[in-house]
Amino acid sequence: MDKVSPTGSLSTIENAEPLHIATVVRSFSENGGLELYAHRIVEGLLERGHRVTVICEVSDSGLAHPSLKKLYFPPAPEGIRKADRISHHFTAASKFVGENGPFDVIHSQHLPMSGADAVTFHNHTANRIVQVGQTWEKLLNNAKMVYSKAYKLRYAQDEILCRSSVLLFPAKVCRDDFAATYKLDSRPLPPSYVVAHPGANFPGQLNVPENEKAVFVPQNGPFTFLFVGKGFRKKGLDILLRSCQILNKNGTQCRLIIAGLKAKPFDKLRLSLMGLSNIVEYLGFRKDMHNVYAQAHATILPSRIEPFGMAPVQGMMHGLVPIVSAVSGVSEVLTDGLDSLILRDHLSPDELAELMKRLIDSPDKLAEMSARARGTAAKLTWDLTVDETLRAYRIVVQKKGLEQKLKSKLTPSG
């Protein structure tokens, strides 16, 4: 087998022997960010001629292939506490992988386990909010790190995952968070890092008519922004609502639609108190995201914590201009003022309102940025994500080979 250094060429990777990879993920599905990422990686590995055994708790994927096998570890009992669920996944997945090997590479998609060769981290560390949140959020999170069993357990199990020989991240900001939190570079045997950005396309997007993929200027009704996600504060929805309130008080007309959250009574009361009941609409969970993107002119992701953020690049394929926070991973693949607007202070509703108004007031500029956004999104392919993942696997194989050589030299001959 060819040796591959951490900067090895893709041609060397592609010419190497096929691998048997265990992909360990809680849910094997195309619904959800982590799930879609893992699913696309598996698809790409199969297309490249590799064998994949998916080891998961549940699956709703219809993917079938001669080189694909799906195995299921025992599910967590219903109704158990979060900490107990984390412990269950760690024990069940670790045991099940060990019983069903051997594999050339064991790849955990951020599922707690021992024995992984490679791990893709899809979330920041448990302590990330201390770096990017408001003062009270920092204090609350520090208290959780001391008193919450689930927080302490997650922190400890991420540390175990960091012992893998190769660590993959969707963006550099996530990599730097883990490297600093767990002091990875100061270890006697530091891990290798690979950054593998997600691709832009998503289920159903490829079948969307071309004329529905771009909207440049409002035709009927106000300018529409789209927020996608479930985290009220981590995703920055609290800041966004305050920005909408500022625009509304200043007489700037716009509309905000929210996909991924259903309006609860408290949400409706909040909108009423803020004077936003006729401006903000909750869409709930949606699988037909191409229809949702077609309703908007721009996406907004003012996150405090965001390892990457797929919604902005998915919307860019429809021509939607994204506004994203500088602390989000997706900002690393965007260019401020050309294909996007970057929010420098993610805790400032005033700055966000200014960026929103800039898009509303400049239809010609919006059209230019929309075209550039689509061009950027077209370059963000899952093929590139699979390339980087395969590079990580070859580093794993190389390290295993070096370890085996060292063991053979240290073992006395009979």
pLDDT score recorded for residue 7: 33
Whether residue 2 is contained in a domain is answered as no
Express as a percent the part of the chain with pLDDT over 90. Answer: 82
Dump pLDDT digits (tens) for 150-180.
999 999 999 999 999 999 999 999 999 999 9
Do both 375 and 396 map to the same domain? no
Do both 214 and 339 map to the same domain? yes
Do both 249 and 112 map to the same domain? no
- Examine the pLDDT at 80 and tell me if it is beyond 50: yes
As for how many domains the chain has, the answer is 2
Task: Give pTM, 2 decimals.
Answer: 0.90
Whether residue 284 is contained in a domain is answered as yes
pLDDT score recorded for residue 401: 84
Kindly calculate the radius of gyration of the chain based on its CA atoms and give it in whole angstroms.
Answer: 23
Do both 17 and 121 map to the same domain? yes
What one-character-per-residue DSSP string does 346-395 give? TT-HHHHHHHHHHHHH-HHHHHHHHHHHHHHHHH--HHHHHHHHHHHHHH
* Domain CATH number, residue 125: 3.40.50.2000
Express as a percent the part of the chain with pLDDT over 70. Answer: 89
Dump pLDDT digits (tens) for 227-258.
999 989 999 999 999 999 999 999 999 999 99
Which of the pair, 310 or 212, is modelled with greater confidence? Answer: 310
Do both 38 and 63 map to the same domain? yes
Do both 167 and 299 map to the same domain? no
- Examine the pLDDT at 357 and tell me if it is beyond 70: yes
Whether residue 173 is contained in a domain is answered as yes
Do both 136 and 243 map to the same domain? no
Whether residue 4 is contained in a domain is answered as no
Structure confidence at residue 402 as a pLDDT band (50, 70, 90) = confident
Average pLDDT over all residues of the chain: 90
Do both 156 and 277 map to the same domain? no
- Residue 162 CA, distance from chain mean position: 18
Closest CA to 336 of 320, 352, 325: 325
Whether residue 5 is contained in a domain is answered as no
pLDDT score recorded for residue 187: 92
Dump pLDDT digits (tens) for 109-127.
999 999 999 999 999 999 8
- Examine the pLDDT at 303 and tell me if it is beyond 70: yes
Do both 365 and 288 map to the same domain? yes
CA torsion sign, 380 to 397 to 25 to 305? negative
Whether residue 396 is contained in a domain is answered as yes
Do both 213 and 273 map to the same domain? yes
Closest CA to 202 of 284, 109, 331, 316: 316
pLDDT score recorded for residue 6: 34
Query: What is the residue type of 82?
Result: K
- Residue 367 CA, distance from chain mean position: 28
pLDDT score recorded for residue 48: 96
Could you tell me the residue range of the domain that residue 280 belongs to?
A: 205-379
DSSP class of residue 235 equals T
Do both 116 and 224 map to the same domain? no
- Examine the pLDDT at 200 and tell me if it is beyond 80: yes
* Lowest model confidence (mean pLDDT) among 13-27, 211-225, 311-325: 211-225
Is it true that the peptide bond before 75 is cis, omega within 30 degrees of 0?
no
Do both 89 and 217 map to the same domain? no
